[in-house]
A and B are shown apart, each in its own frame.
Chain A
């Protein structure tokens, strides 16, 4: 079974500073990787996903992530954060089953706190 490890439970950062949220996964087969964001009292929203092709993936709100197969990592980055980026961020991997079904395995989440 696949697993996802988010290396930081909380990341405090000042506004306009760069940020990196780290994610490692374990998988022996093709990998589909996702980053989701959850704002308080809301559901999850997709930031970006990696399916294949270019290892640098650009998403919404200025976020990007780099897929590194040798290090089994999929770190999320933003060059300059805003107060409104304060939220919880989840790294996830999709795992398929023979009948075409699937499930998404989420990391424990990283709470990004942007300070003024």
Chain B
């Protein structure tokens, strides 16, 4: 099976712009989670989707949003970008059958740089 793919791999934006990141999960996986990784804050949970429904959300401002499509592909959007949004954004998919006991499979990430 193909792994989790994320597009684009690298992105450069300026403050105030918005950005959309895409994640294609492993075929058959129904749960998709997003994480932000920065040197200062480490890995922080953004949100988790299952069957097009957001089931859990981390402590991020409303500028961060996401959605999941019927084919389980997911997108996350960040509006009004700030310098502090520069990070590696990781997507992870899991089968969704075992919930919190599931193994998550991570994509390579999208490196977002905000200038």
Contacts and interface: CB of A to CB of B under 8 A. Distances in A.
B108 interface: yes
Do most interface residues of chain A lie in helix, strand or loop, or is the interface mixed? strand
B104 A90 contact: no
B1 to A, nearest CB: 15
A97 interface: yes
Interface stretch (A11-19, A37-45, A64-72, A78-86): A37-45
A45 B109 CA distance: 12
Interface in A92-116: 94-97, 99-109
B16 interface: no
A105 B45 CA distance: 7
B103 A32 contact: no
Contacts of A90: 43
Contacts of B45: 103-105
A51 B99 contact: no
A101 B43 CA distance: 18
A103 B106 contact: no
A46 interface: yes
A99 B42 contact: no
Nearest to A44: B106
B6 to A, nearest CB: 8
Given A42-B108, A43-B107, A101-B55, A109 B42 contact: yes
16 contacts: A41-B108, A43-B108, A43-B109, A44-B106, A49-B103, A90-B43, A95-B100, A96-B100, A100-B99, A102-B48, A103-B33, A103-B45, A103-B58, A104-B104, A106-B35, A106-B43
Interface of A: 32, 34, 36, 41-46, 49, 51, 90, 94-97, 99-109
